[in-house]
Amino acid sequence: MIYDMEYETLPREALEAIQLRRLQTTLQRVYATVPFYRRRFDEVGFKPSDLRSLEDLRRVPFTTKQDLRDNYPYGLFAVPMENVVRIHASSGTTGKPTVVGYTARDIETWATLMARSLSAAGATRGDIIHNAYGYGLFTGGLGVHYGAEKLGASVIPISGGNTKRQIMIMKDFGATILTCTPSYALHLAEVAHEMGVDFKDLKFKAGLFGAEPWSEKMREEIERKLHLSALDIYGLSEVIGPGVAVECLEAKAGLHIFEDHFIPEIIDPNTGEVLPPGSTGELVFTSITKEAFPVIRYRTRDITSLNTEPCLCGRTFVRMNRVSGRSDDMLIIRGVNVFPSQIESVLMEIQGVEPHYQLVVDREDNLDKLTVLVEVGESAFSDKVKTLQDLEKLITKNIKEYLGVSAKVKLVEPKTIARSEGKAVRVIDNRKL
Amino acid sequence: MRVEQISVFLENKAGRLAEVTRVLSEAGVNIRALSLADTSDFGILRLIVNDNEKAKEALKANGFTVGKTDVVAVEVEDRPGGLHRILDILRKAGINVEYMYAFVQQSGDNAVIIFRFDNLDEAVRVLTDNGVTVINGSKVYTM
C-alpha cells in the first residue's frame, strides 16, 4: 500500500529536481542561521550558491555526532525556540544526549513519513496499532504514534514494559499491527507462550520492527512465533526519528529511503570519499526539508549499501540494505547506545580501578546481556570478599546510572583481556544476528 | 605481633590454583597456612609462607594480583572450648573477626589460628591482656 502515491513513485529525474531545489534551500538556510555550518562551509570555501547539481554535495563537510555534542543542547537549531514545538534526545552518551528539535511542520513531515511507513506494512485507517516503542525523549514511541494518527488508524500507546499486561491488551483490544524493537517482539512471544496465549489466535497481520540491528534469521523467527509479517524500519533522531526508511510488504528486500526528504550517500568511513553505487560503506544523510534541526551530511556510522534496482512495490526510492554493522565501536544494547569509552570513564572515576576492561555482549532469551570484565589491579584488590563484591556493585550501579543499561560486572585477573598490537580488544559481540 | 599474609586474586576457572602452587614451588617457597574464599566469579587465596618477598615477587612476575595484609596468629588450647574462649574474649571486647583459618602446624600442645581483624592493635592488646598467646611473625614463618 502506497500512502503518498505522487511522491513515492516519482520518476528519478523529477525526484532529483525536487532534491536539488530542497537541498539548495536547506544549505542557504543553515548557512544563514547556524553559525556552526557557516564556519564549516567557510573553512572549505563553499558557498551554498556553489551547489548546482546533487554531485556538488560532495564538497560540503560532514557533520558528526561529536559536532552535535559540541553544540549541545540547541547550538545546531536553525529556528528560534519559539518555533520549536518538540524536543527529543538520543538515548544518552557520556552524560550529554544528542538533542534535536522539531517545528510544527517538522512534526507534520515526520507524521507523514511514519504514515507512509505504516502503509508500507499494510496498515490502513481500519487498523489497530499496538505501539510498544518507548514513549519519551526517545523518538520511537511518539514517532509511530503521530504517524498512526496521521494515517487515521487507531493507536494503542502502550509503550514498553509490563509485558504480561501487553499480552492481555493485545488479546482483548484486537490489535492488527505491532510496532516495537525486534528483540522485544521475541520477548513478547515468549511471555505469551508462558501465559498460554498463542499469537495464532491474535489478530496481528504485520509488524514494524526497528531501533536495533536484526537479521533475516530473526525475521523468520518473529514471523513464525508471532504469526505476522515482520518488516524492518530505520531511523535515527538526528535525521528525524523512525520513518527515514522502511521495507515494503511486497518485496521485503531492503528499506526504501524517503528520498524526497533525505539524501543518502555511502562513503568510505576511513577516507570520507563517496563510493560508487552498490558499494558497502557508511551511510550519510542530508535532510532537505527539516526546519528546526537540519543535518548536513550527517555520518550515521551505520554500515550498509544502497540498491537502486526497481522494486516490486512500485516505489522509486532507493533501498538501503540491512545495517550490517557500525563504523565506530558503538554498541546498541537493548536500544541504548553504548560506547566502550563511556564504560572507561565510569571505571576511571572509581578509585583504584584501572581502565582495563572488556565488554561482552550476548543475546539470551532474545534480550541483550552486557557483561563488563574489569581487571583487578593491586590498588583495587582486597583480601576481603566483601570489599571486592562492593566494588562490583559500585561499578554496576555507576554504569546503570551514567549509561542507563544494566550490566553484569565481573572482576578478572590482570592481563586476561587480550591485547593485540598493544591495543586491548574492547568489545566481544556474541550476538548472532 | 603481626604476621604478614599475602593474598592472591584468582578468577574462578580451572587450573588457576595449580598455577599459584606451581609458581611457589618453583620459587622454593613453603606454604605454612592457607585459606581460599570464593564467590561464583572469583576467589581470594590467602597464604602464610616462609618467604613473603620471594613469594610475592614470583607471583607478580607471573601476572597475579597480589595483596599484603597483617593478620594475627593466636595459640589456641587443643581441647573442647579452646577456640570458644578466644572468641568469647573478642566478643566481650566488641572486636569483629573479618575471617579466620587454621594453621597446619601445632605450637606445642596448642593449635594455631590465623585471625584477620579490622582493628589489629586493639585485638592484640585485648588478647594478650587476657593471657592469650599471640605468636610473632618471625616465629610463624619458620614453625
| A378/B39 CB distance under 8 A | no
| B39/A412 CB distance under 8 A | no
The region, left, alpha or beta by phi > 0 then psi within -120 to 50, assigned to residue A227 is left
What span, in angstroms and rounded, lies between the C-alpha atoms of B27 and B18? Answer: 14
Residues 6+ positions from B138 with CB-CB distance below 8 Å: none
**A155 in Cβ contact with A149 (< 8 Å):** yes
Burial (CB count within 10 angstroms: exposed 0-12, middle 13-18, buried 19+), residue A72? middle
Chain A hits for B41, CB-CB cut-off 8 Å, are: 392, 410-411
A interface toward B at CB cutoff 8 Å?
A: 376-378, 381-385, 388-389, 392, 410-416
| B11/A384 CB distance under 8 A | no
What span, in angstroms and rounded, lies between the C-alpha atoms of A272 and A275? Answer: 9
3-state helix, strand, coil in chain B (%, to 5): 35, 40, 25
Tell me which H or E stretch contains B92: helix B82-92
Tell me which H or E stretch contains A21: helix A12-33
Place B131 in a pLDDT band, splitting at 50, 70 and 90.
very high
Instruction: Give pLDDT, residue A35.
Output: 97
pLDDT tens digit sequence for A23-74: 999 999 999 999 999 999 999 999 999 999 999 999 999 999 989 989 999 9
For Cα atoms A382, A384, A386, give the angle at the middle one, nearest 5 degrees.
110
When pLDDT is averaged across residues A107-116 and rounded to a whole number, the result is: 98
Place A326 in a pLDDT band, splitting at 50, 70 and 90.
confident
Mean per-residue pLDDT of chain A: 92
When pLDDT is averaged across residues A345-357 and rounded to a whole number, the result is: 81
Burial (CB count within 10 angstroms: exposed 0-12, middle 13-18, buried 19+), residue A416? middle
Helices A104-120/A139-151 angle, 10° precision = 80
Top mean-pLDDT range of A30-39, A335-344, B4-13, B77-86: A30-39
Which residue in A381, A392, A410 is closest to B9 by CB distance?
A381
Instruction: Give pLDDT, residue A212.
Output: 80
| B41/A414 CB distance under 8 A | no
Partner A contacted by B21 (CB < 8 A): no
Chain B hits for A383, CB-CB cut-off 8 Å, are: 5, 7, 44, 46, 67, 69, 116
Of A297, A308, A428, A317, the C-alpha closest to A362 is A428
When pLDDT is averaged across residues A209-214 and rounded to a whole number, the result is: 86
Partner A contacted by B7 (CB < 8 A): yes
Of the listed ranges A130-144, A186-200, A328-342, the least confidently predicted one is: A328-342
Record the cell numbers describing residue B69, joined without a space: 595484609
A vs B, Cβ pairs < 8 A, gives 55
Amino acid in the structure at residue B10: L
When pLDDT is averaged across residues A383-388 and rounded to a whole number, the result is: 92
| B67/A382 CB distance under 8 A | yes
Q: Is the pLDDT assigned to residue B82 strictly greater than 70?
A: yes
CA nearest to B6 within chain A: A383
Which residue in B5, B39, B63 is closest to A385 by CB distance?
B39
Residue B8 CB neighbours (<10 A): 28
What span, in angstroms and rounded, lies between the C-alpha atoms of A319 and A83? Answer: 33
Q: Is the pLDDT assigned to residue A100 strictly greater than 90?
A: yes
Q: Is the pLDDT assigned to residue A286 strictly greater than 80?
A: yes
Q: Is the pLDDT assigned to residue A423 strictly greater than 80?
A: no
The ipTM value here is 0.85
Predicted model pTM: 0.69
Question: Which phi and psi (to 5°) does residue A174 adopt?
Answer: 70, 40
| A376/B44 CB distance under 8 A | no
When pLDDT is averaged across residues A244-249 and rounded to a whole number, the result is: 98
Of the listed ranges A238-252, A335-349, A357-371, B57-71, the least confidently predicted one is: A335-349
Q: Is the pLDDT assigned to residue B103 strictly greater than 70?
A: yes
pLDDT tens digit sequence for A230-243: 999 999 999 999 99
Place A257 in a pLDDT band, splitting at 50, 70 and 90.
very high
Instruction: Give pLDDT, residue A91.
Output: 61
Q: Is the pLDDT assigned to residue B116 strictly greater than 60?
A: yes
Instruction: Give pLDDT, residue A299.
Output: 96
When pLDDT is averaged across residues A114-137 and rounded to a whole number, the result is: 97
Determine the distance in angstroms separating the CA of B138 from the nearest CA of chain A, rounded to an integer: 21
